[in-house]
Amino acid sequence: MCGIHAIVTHDGIPPLSDSLRRCLANRGPDHLGQVETGVNSRQGPRLSLAFTSTVLALRGDRVTPQPFHDAATGSVLCWNGEAWKFAGQDVQGNDGEAVFARLLAAAGDADGEAVVEVLRCIDGPFAFIFFDKPSLRLFYGRDRLGRRSLLVNRDSGFVLSSVAETASPSWLEVEADAIYVLNLASEGDGRGVFMAPSQRPWMTDQAADMILNIGQLNIATPSETLPPLESTSPVVHQLCEELTASMRMRVLGIPTPPRPEGDSDDTRLAILFSGGLDCTVLARLASELLPPDQGIDLLNVAFENPRVARHRGSHETTSIYEACPDRITGRKAFEELSAVCPSRKWRFVAVDVPYTETLAHRSQVISLMHPHNTEMDLSIAYALYFASRGMGIAQDRPSDEPRAYSTPARVLLSGLGADELFGGYSRHLAAFERSGYPGLVDEIKLDVSRLGKRNLGRDDRVMAHWGREVRFPYLDERFVRWAMETPIWEKCDFQYPETESRVEPGKRILRLLAEELGMRSVAREKKRAIQFGSRTAKMESGRTKGTNLLVP
């Protein structure tokens, strides 16, 4: 994880503001580096370029400084992400160095297509800025799913950044639908106005039914009544294998985080943990993969919601935090994990957020999530911001005495993506009831195709602020492709409703896997949005709409 920033101007390079430098450094606390250069365009004045990168070191055996700079050619790379695979092969060592080496080998070609081809071969979450100085081209973009943040501002010069410097409407999210190329050789008309960048598609084979530039959705529907999914169905075993492969890249090899001298606790991984199905399956599989001496922190956030507090009866003895829906399910899942994996050092971290603290951080959260600016954006961002901070009251076992704690983990796991891939939303059931399997396929196709348009850039800006990297096992390219190719009835068979002996049909394949892993209670947990489970939604008025724009 890194913070990246680049500026191209006709008028000299302004210094980074203190607030922007601080936000970039929060994303990458291990190193801050800068490279400045200049180019002569075909017309007008000389262009000045400056590149800034901050580094959170999670790959390789040392801190690798950025920006990457090749003295021979003058080319520069700002890399924010994880290249797990290159052309299907695992990337060893520092991935940024590996990507830069390949980009340098491809740089300088006549049309820039060789550089684009290098980027197309990368599997993993990333945002990047690459200046190919020999060809005077600036390449930039986000991965196909948009899992890392990158913003653009063309109001004064041409600026790219992981976070916005101000709350100006000029800041826009770089779309994840293409690789962008700015030809600096054509710039410099003296007016200080930059041309619009060209776009290079992620895939050269643009099939009409290609989704996310990753694969094709299986739109087949059953021609006859099929038996219900069972835990013994082969596809459940396939799900376990595919999800484990995605997890293996994301949880193994995490370096030991900085810790106080004499502290022997080896906890490198934390889960954004509501106690729901998606995140608890990740926790359970992580326990299968990690060495037995490594702990796993379960970060469970709950808020003091003044609207809810006003309606609590005087006879209620449970704290407002312990009464939050996600706190209840979180503790329940913690107990089940402790029983199923008793030798694992679990740590349940109750992150309680008083309303006064929510208000104290409001301007910071709004600044980080910009250019998103609705009430729903804020309620979701609050939950992710405080959960990823990882400060709260911890217990190693459900019966232990709570103690103050701050997680040292620099890698967090999120269960995002499972609902879209496996039919976990109530609208999927509604689509099936309205139009059968064809309607369900259409609804799943719509949700999956919008994954790249989701607010992952917003979430990245909010969570990376604490010097932690969030990883999404359900959004691994290979896993997404497998899930899309799996027949719809093998993921959510709504023709067989929930019974006493049968889990509900939404995400049934994942629920059956949870049962196979020994978590029968978790397998029956209902879907609940984070803003309602943690009670960040409608904190003042029940009439507030999520689409309302924020009042400054």
Q: What is the CATH number for 62?
A: 3.60.20.10
Q: Is beta strand 411-413 parallel, antiparallel or unpaired with respect to 469-471?
A: parallel
Both 293 and 178 in one domain: the answer is no
Instruction: Kindly state whether residue 409 falls inside one of the protein's structural domains.
Output: yes
Q: Is the pTM of this model over 0.85?
A: yes
| Dist CA 434 CA 359 (whole Å) | 43
Both 513 and 380 in one domain: the answer is yes
Both 307 and 381 in one domain: the answer is yes
Both 305 and 363 in one domain: the answer is yes
What pLDDT score does 193 carry? Answer: 66
Burial class (CB in 10 A: 0-12, 13-18, 19+), 26: middle
Both 32 and 144 in one domain: the answer is yes
Instruction: Kindly state whether residue 51 falls inside one of the protein's structural domains.
Output: yes
Residues in CB range of 148: below 8 A, 6 or more apart: 80, 81, 125, 126, 127, 142, 162, 456, 457, 460
Both 200 and 241 in one domain: the answer is no
| Dist CA 455 CA 145 (whole Å) | 10
8 Å CB contact between 481 and 215: yes
Instruction: Kindly state whether residue 71 falls inside one of the protein's structural domains.
Output: yes
Instruction: Kindly state whether residue 548 falls inside one of the protein's structural domains.
Output: no
Domain count within the chain: 2
- Domain of 320, CATH number, reads 3.40.50.620
Nearest 5°: CA angle at 485, between 480 and 487? 120
Residue type, 321: Y
What pLDDT score does 396 carry? Answer: 96
Which residues participate in catalysis according to the annotation?
A: 2
Both 293 and 238 in one domain: the answer is yes
What is the residue-wise DSSP string for 283-299?
HHHHHHHS-TT-EEEEE
Instruction: Kindly state whether residue 382 falls inside one of the protein's structural domains.
Output: yes
Instruction: Kindly state whether residue 499 falls inside one of the protein's structural domains.
Output: yes
Both 179 and 314 in one domain: the answer is no
What pLDDT score does 43 carry? Answer: 63
Q: Could you report the per-residue pLDDT of 373-397, keeping only the tens digit for each?
A: 999 999 999 999 999 999 999 999 9
What pLDDT score does 552 carry? Answer: 66
Both 120 and 158 in one domain: the answer is yes
Final residue of a structural domain among 189, 206, 223: 206
Both 200 and 299 in one domain: the answer is no
8 Å CB contact between 191 and 33: no
Instruction: Kindly state whether residue 546 falls inside one of the protein's structural domains.
Output: no
What pLDDT score does 240 carry? Answer: 98
Structural domain boundaries enclosing 70: 2-206
Instruction: Kindly state whether residue 494 falls inside one of the protein's structural domains.
Output: yes
Both 110 and 253 in one domain: the answer is no
**Residues lower than pLDDT 50 in the chain:** none
| Dist CA 511 CA 500 (whole Å) | 14
Q: In what order do the strands lie in the sheet with 85-86?
A: 89-90, 85-86, 122-123
What pLDDT score does 473 carry? Answer: 98
Q: Give one word for 433, left, alpha or beta, with left for phi > 0 and alpha for psi -120 to 50.
A: alpha
Both 336 and 444 in one domain: the answer is yes
Host H or E run for residue 439: helix 426-449
What pLDDT score does 221 carry? Answer: 94
Host H or E run for residue 510: helix 508-516
